[in-house]
Amino acid sequence: MSKAAMICIITLLAGSAHAAVTTGNLLINPGAEEGDTSGWTKHGNIRAVKSLYETTGMVEELSGEYFFAMGLGCHFGPSSISQRIDLSFLTAGASVGFTAEGYVQTQLWPPMGTSFDKGKLIVEFFDSNDNTLGQFILDPVEHPVLGSSACGRDYSEFSLSDNIPAGTSYAVLTLEGHVVQGVNIDVYYDDLSFVVNLEAGIERKVSIAGELPSGSIDANLGDHLTITLTVDNPYEHELRIEDVLANEFKYIPGTFRINNVSVTPEISANTVSALVPGGTNTITYDAQVVEVFAEQQQTTVTTETNLYNPAGEKVVTCASANITLHPYEGFSCQIERCTHDPWYEIPTETDVHWLLLIELLNTADDRIAAMKEITIHNLEVNEAPIYVLNPPSSSGTVVSENIDDNNRANVTWNAGDLDQGDPPAQLWLEIYTNLNADNGQNNLDDYQGLDSIGEYKLSSDAVVSFTDPETGLKLSAHTSPLTVTVVRE
């Protein structure tokens, strides 16, 4: 009898990701699409208009239906619109930047040919006591256009970026219009924007519970892993973080903590999520290895970790973390031909009896006290049932056996409780397969499809399932499929 071989997997236990998080446009009515100047404080003659016929041609919106028009018969300047922007959500001391931008066109007066009106952008920052902390100016803001009545005049983009002073509570964005020649201010704005660029990040480490993270982790069925997340939240308010566990792992209830304070996370399938406050936060929780396979390829603990901005947009994603996961060693399987040698070879057109032995023992220390419900899926059988008559007595009870329309049977075995050190529980089965199609056709396709030489699966994997009394989670271990070989006599 052979035990499942140990599978080794390359490990990647720590990961990190940082990204600039853009807040989105913080301006109210940034393109005059309310049809007025709501959200703005204005000085001088400023309106939201759909189109405007000027001496130099027709002025139209860049997008939407409206734009801001300055001047409109005003002989004195400057005209201006300004808006206060709340920045109190920024984490104290955070190094963040801003970008103020938009689109503008200004009038070029044909008789003079060189002089034109111009705009100006001013962004000023204040603390909570209304003290100024810094002022940033873009001057001039201009796009001189000599238009015609036959077509709309075009816009040009302007942009101002810099760092926000520490201690900022709010900003005031101001756009001006200045007359340079003629008698009116002719400056037009559309699609204005003010965004804050924040730096958010996630660092993740995985370790066996109670141990420090290392470059290599060996885990077995039932082991507890500790996932540690360091989250940099540049906002004063909470952001959502989610950790998506692979199917082989489950969150252990009651282990989630933020900054060493117990928190109840949201659990949806294998996704663990919570809200984290502003600043740098340490999140820890435990996950249990709940499923192992005899032929493990790559074991991903966390498929991804995601951080969402206040708008619900995913802004930071940390890649997967992999560990070395070992198959459960409490299985052994043996199968032999009852009628012919060699054991694993089937001569075509031969009725075959198979003798199957599965042994099960508790190798999981004190974590697992009961072994129950070992299920052998998809045994390939003909109409003849599975026999449990001639083999030696089995431990426990076979509680179900079913044959479906495809000649496959599932056997569920209640092995009983097994403590560590108990002798193995045994399941003996005699399986009858009729490869000689006794229906006048002699066509092996009618049974199992064993119509050519080669290797075939006699069954899918066997699965033993039991409950960890400490965590209450259901654990499952899989064997390799049973395979046989068809040969020609």
**Model confidence over 368-425: pLDDT tens digits?**
434 444 555 555 554 444 554 456 777 777 766 666 666 666 777 777 777 777 888 8
**Per-residue pLDDT at 274:** 95
111 pLDDT more than 70: no
Residue 7 domain-assigned (yes or no) = no
Indicate if the pLDDT at residue 168 is higher than 70. yes
Least confidently predicted of 448-452, 458-462, 484-488: 448-452
Is residue 172 in some structural domain? yes
d(CA 52, CA 26): 28
5 pLDDT above the threshold of 50: no
Residue 423 pLDDT: 82
DSSP tag of 179: -
Q: Which range, of 331-345, 378-392, 431-445, averages the lowest pLDDT?
A: 431-445
| 301 domain-assigned | yes
Q: Give me 82's structure tokens.
A: 């300004």
CATH of the domain at 288: 2.60.40.740
Question: Does residue 284 surpass a pLDDT of 90?
Answer: yes
Q: Where does the pLDDT of residue 265 fall: very low under 50, low under 70, confident under 90, or very high at 90 and above?
A: very high
Give the number of residues written for the chain.
Answer: 489
266 forms bridges with which residues in the sheet?
A: 273
Q: Which residue has the higher pLDDT, 53 or 432?
A: 53
Please indicate, yes or no, whether residues 281 and 242 belong to a single structural domain of this protein. Answer: yes
Assigned domain for 3 exists: no
Confidence band, pLDDT 50/70/90 cuts, at residue 432: low
For residue 149, is pLDDT > 80? no
Q: Of 159-163, 259-263, 269-273, 351-355, which gets the smallest average pLDDT?
A: 351-355
**Is the pLDDT reported for residue 29 higher than 80?**
yes
Domain co-membership, 35 together with 121:
yes
**pLDDT band for position 320 (cuts 50, 70, 90):** confident
- Confidence bin at 4 (pLDDT 50/70/90): very low
Name the pTM for this structure: 0.62
Mean pLDDT of 292-301: 71
| pLDDT for the residue numbered 371 | 43
Higher local confidence (pLDDT), 482 or 433: 482
Calpha distance 112→212 (Å, rounded): 76
Residue 9 domain-assigned (yes or no): no
Is the four-CA dihedral 228, 230, 236, 241 of positive or negative sign? negative
Q: Is 83 within 8 Å of 176 (Cβ atoms)? A: no
Q: Are 380 and 466 found together in one domain?
A: yes
**Residue 324 parent element (H or E):** strand 321-325
Rounded average pLDDT over 9-34: 71
Residues 320 and 337 in one domain: no
Shared domain for 120 and 147, answered yes or no, is yes
**List of residues 6+ apart from 343 with CB closer than 8 A:** 335, 336, 337
User: Residue 374 and residue 272: Cα distance in Å, rounded?
Assistant: 30
pLDDT for the residue numbered 89: 78
Q: Are residues 343 and 276 in the same domain?
A: no
Predicted local confidence at residue 469, as pLDDT: 79
Judge whether residue 173 has pLDDT over 90. Answer: yes
pLDDT value, residue 379? 58
Query: Which is more confidently placed, 101 or 378?
Result: 101
Query: In sequence order, which ranges of 275-323 are alpha helices (DSSP H)?
Result: none
The SS3 call for residue 445 is helix
Identify whether residues 36 and 161 lie together within a single domain. Answer: yes
Which of 188, 216, 244 lies closest to 52 in space, CA to CA?
A: 188
Q: How far apart are CA 387 and CA 376, in angstroms?
A: 14
Averaged pLDDT score across all residues of the chain: 76
Residue 404: what pLDDT? Answer: 67
Is the model's pLDDT at 6 over the cut of 50?
no
Tell me the pairing of strands 279-289 and 271-276. Answer: unpaired
The single residue listed with the structure tokens 């190798």 is: 363
One-letter identity of residue 388: V
Note the Cα 286 to chain centre separation in Å: 18
Mean pLDDT, to the nearest integer, of 228-237? Answer: 83
pLDDT-derived band at 90, boundaries 50, 70, 90: confident
Cβ proximity of 202 and 17 under 8 Å: yes
Residue 397 in domain: yes
Mapping DSSP to helix (H, G, I), strand (E, B) and coil, where does residue 444 land? helix
- Same domain flag for 417 and 337: yes
The structural domain count of the chain equals: 3
Is 273 in the same domain as 377? Answer: no
Co-location of 143 and 44 in the same domain: yes
Q: At which residue do the structure tokens 């940033």 appear?
A: 136
Q: What is the pLDDT of residue 145?
A: 80
Q: End of a domain among 198, 232, 260?
A: 198
Q: Is the pLDDT of residue 271 over 60?
A: yes
Residue 254 confidence (pLDDT) above 90: yes
205 versus 123: which is more confidently predicted? Answer: 123
How does residue 27 score in pLDDT terms, banded at 50, 70 and 90? very high
Tell me how far apart the alpha carbons of residues 193 and 313 are, in angstroms, rounded to a whole number: 19
Choosing from 181, 198, 215, the residue where a domain stops is 198
| Sign of the alpha-carbon dihedral angle for 60, 66, 67, 71 | positive
Report the 3 state secondary structure along 352-419. EEEEEEEEECCCCCCCCCCCEEEEEEEEECCCCCCECCCCCCCCCEEEEEEECCCCEEEEEEECCCCC
Q: Bigger pLDDT: 171 or 108?
A: 171
Same domain, 376 and 294: no
- Token digits for 278? 């502003």
Place of tokens 């860049």: 62
Residue partners of 131: CB distance under 8 A and separation at least 6: none
pLDDT at residue 189, rounded to an integer: 95
pLDDT value of residue 41: 95
> Residue 116: what pLDDT?
75
Same domain, 320 and 341: no
pLDDT at 466: 76
Both tokens of 168, joined, read 């900022």
Domain CATH number, residue 336: 2.60.40
- Report the CATH number at residue 159: 2.60.120.260
In a domain, 364, yes or no: yes
* Residue 3 reports pLDDT greater than 50: no
Output the CA–CA distances (angstroms, integers) from residue 422 to 150, 319, 363, 371, 397, in the order listed: 95, 42, 10, 12, 18
Last-in-domain residue among 198, 215, 247? 198
pLDDT digits (tens, 9 = 90+) for 57-76: 778 889 999 999 987 655 55
Q: Whole domain around residue 481: which residue ranges?
A: 331-487
What is the pLDDT at residue 424? 82
In a domain, 47, yes or no: yes
